[in-house]
Structure 1
């Protein structure tokens, strides 16, 4: 049974396409709509297999802020309490699968103990994960104007240090960083929720960091028994143009997926199958239909079967040296 955890802030038409495409027996969808977004545009999606989180269980999500982690944890808690799911897949509302749904289900069934999450020990220059993301204090955009002003005054007066002692904050934990998107087992999600609940000081520390969605859960898993079962994530994102946002998918990407169905072993996070891609928008209906026609065919099913039969052993992560 698969729980899809969907972080959403727009594009309700594409979200409907995504859900329709992934629907199958035993699958359920949990949708967190950014509190800054009109919930009415998504509430019609509510059904037996789709649970749109009510407003009191959502947060206003800000880019690079811990609020994204809070939204993920809210989804995780809701899904864990809702059923006996054995796989939890975090996607954005602008993702779309590159494989037939039956093949995705078979792949997860064949890799029941693998944690698909891209992560490396920090610092890692090749992955763009400097320690400054953790050691440099970041004023949260969710603070009130008065709170923000007070903190900035304290920082400017050097009463409150902008550079923080990472070892004091993390103790014996090694920091890890990676990609936001993942597909984790039930056991890993239970562990993450229990760790978060039992370590409020660590949570408070990460609230003052930048891009906590790429470090918080990763650091917990990286210092747990689940590290031995980690493999890279399954979501393709095109950052080739640089900048703060990835490229939108296009027809040229369809051609790319027809010839390239795996991440290279030379990738900083290692090799593995591409099962999802981002990002799409409401106007990409024809592109999505083209992808379904050209990618989800017998040849891909044969490829997916080979992936399912491949070893489930995790690759070793790079060392800190």
Structure 2
């Protein structure tokens, strides 16, 4: 019996994370967890999370200090991919954030992926015509820890904008164009996705190439896997290759229902509208969603328990 590997990136909200882990606990799943090294994470936190599993193995992977937009995001993902790949032979690897939740039972999820064993599940987006996004690849981002979130509030965003504008301007003056030099294609996808064994093998074996290409790129976590697939002629294996423009009518090929049109992204609540939207997403075939805050949404939490086949079980 081949199992599934759930790869979770988290940086806090451990009650929420524990709820997610409890819903993934299944004899056909192993769960791999990366906690941002910048986050406080005690032995008691670890023990409480470990208590959420009875049937799965919960494996804590080597921690990376993650800085949004920098290469450290890829390093954290690689820590998950490598640990899981070396641990076992899984039919699928599902990359989730700690504030995701499943919308379907594990039996439904397993059955679905058994019907699509060779597919890659990504939400594809375009970089074409978006100058700022193309510049992610075209020019170096030399200081990976300097991002719009390095400093709080408007000051931080303004400081980064000035820095990035200067960085790009100087590289233009020097004639730098990494798109031509490194033969990079303007392509991106949401970093959250589901991948069969051979794709994860390719990613793990390409670690050095990925680092050489993207170490000094900005927001390359959305680029490195689709770039690798494109380079190897594997984009034809996408479950859905339609481009998403973060609009409600767009289908998200990674089967994660993420509401970008009401937020950045929007956090689901107990309102009838939100619950109705999530029920509609389930009917459309979505398997996961984000963002959630179960501490302030007890009605939605109960709905999730029912949708995932856990009834009214306490967690």
- TM-score after normalising by structure 1: 0.75
Which residue in the other structure is 1:195 paired with?
A: 206
The offset of 1:165, in angstroms, is: 1.1
Q: 1:228 to 1:80 in 2, by over 3 A?
A: same
Ranges in structure 1 where 5+ consecutive residues have no aligned partner: 144-150, 264-272, 298-321
The whole-number CA distance in structure 1 between the counterparts of 2:167 and 2:278 is 48
Give RMSD over aligned pairs.
2.9
The whole-number CA distance in structure 1 between the counterparts of 2:15 and 2:227 is 35
Candidates 283, 286, 289, aligned match of 2:302: 289
Q: Does 1:248 align with 2:251?
A: no
Contact 1:12 1:282 (8 Å CA) reproduced:
no
Which residue in the other structure is 1:215 paired with?
A: 223
The offset of 1:282, in angstroms, is: 5.1
Residue pairs, 1:151-190, within 5 angstroms: 158=170, 164-171=176-183, 173-190=184-201
Residue pairs, 1:44-59, within 5 angstroms: 44=47, 45-46=49-50, 49-53=57-61, 57-59=62-64
The offset of 1:241, in angstroms, is: 3.0
Ranges in structure 2 where 5+ consecutive residues have no aligned partner: 147-162, 240-252, 310-315
Residue pairs, 1:41-80, within 5 angstroms: 42-44=45-47, 45-46=49-50, 49-53=57-61, 57-80=62-85
The offset of 1:78, in angstroms, is: 0.2
Q: 1:258 to 1:210 in 2, by over 3 A?
A: same
Contact 1:123 1:129 (8 Å CA) reproduced:
no
The whole-number CA distance in structure 2 between the counterparts of 1:68 and 1:156 is 22
Q: 1:215 to 1:91 in 2, by over 3 A?
A: same
Candidates 68, 71, 96, aligned match of 1:91: 96
Which residue in the other structure is 1:27 paired with?
A: 29
The offset of 1:115, in angstroms, is: 0.5
- TM-score after normalising by structure 2: 0.76
